[in-house]
Amino acid sequence: MTIHVVDHPLVHHKLSLIRDRKTPGILFRALIEEVGLILAAEATRTLPTESVVVETPLERTGSLRLKSLDPVLVPVLRAGLGLLPPFLQLMPTAKVGHLGLYRDHDSLVPVPYYRNFPPLLEARPVFILDPMLATGGSASEAVRQLKTAGAVNLSLVSLLAAPEGLERLQRDHPDLTIVVGAVDRQLNDKGYILPGLGDAGDRLFGTV
Feature table: binding site: 78, 103, 130-138, 193, 198-200
Count of residues near ligand PRP by CB under 6 A:
22
CA distances from 120 to 71, 141, 146, 160 (A): 10, 20, 11, 30
Residue 165 touches ligand PRP, criterion: CB under 6 A: yes
Q: Which lies closer to ligand PRP via its Cβ, residue 60 or residue 190?
A: 190
Question: Binding site residues for 5-phospho-alpha-D-ribose 1-diphosphate, as ranges?
Answer: 78, 103, 130-138, 199
Least Å from the CB of residue 110 to ligand PRP:
5
Cα separation, 202 vs 136, in Å, equals 19
Q: Is 66 exposed, middle or buried (0-12, 13-18, 19+ CB in 10 A)?
A: middle
User: Which residues inside 80-119 make contact with ligand PRP, applying CB under 6 A?
Assistant: 101-103, 108, 110
Question: Binding site residues for uracil, as ranges?
Answer: 193, 198-200
User: Which residues inside 51-70 make contact with ligand PRP, applying CB under 6 A?
Assistant: none
Q: Which lies closer to ligand URA via its Cβ, residue 32 or residue 146?
A: 32
Angle between helices 137-148 and 163-172 (to 10 degrees): 30
The one segment of 4-12, 13-21, 72-80, 113-121 that binds ligand PRP by CB under 6 A = 72-80
Parallel, antiparallel or unpaired: strands 153-161 and 125-129: parallel
Q: Which lies closer to ligand URA via its Cβ, residue 109 or residue 152?
A: 109
> Could you tell which of ligand PRP, ligand URA, none binds residue 72, using a CB distance below 5 to 8 A set by kind?
none
**Residue 148 φ/ψ region, left for φ over 0, alpha for ψ in the -120 to 50 degree band, beta for the rest:** alpha
Cα separation, 187 vs 91, in Å, equals 33
Q: Which lies closer to ligand URA via its Cβ, residue 42 or residue 184?
A: 184
Rg value, the chain, Cα: 18
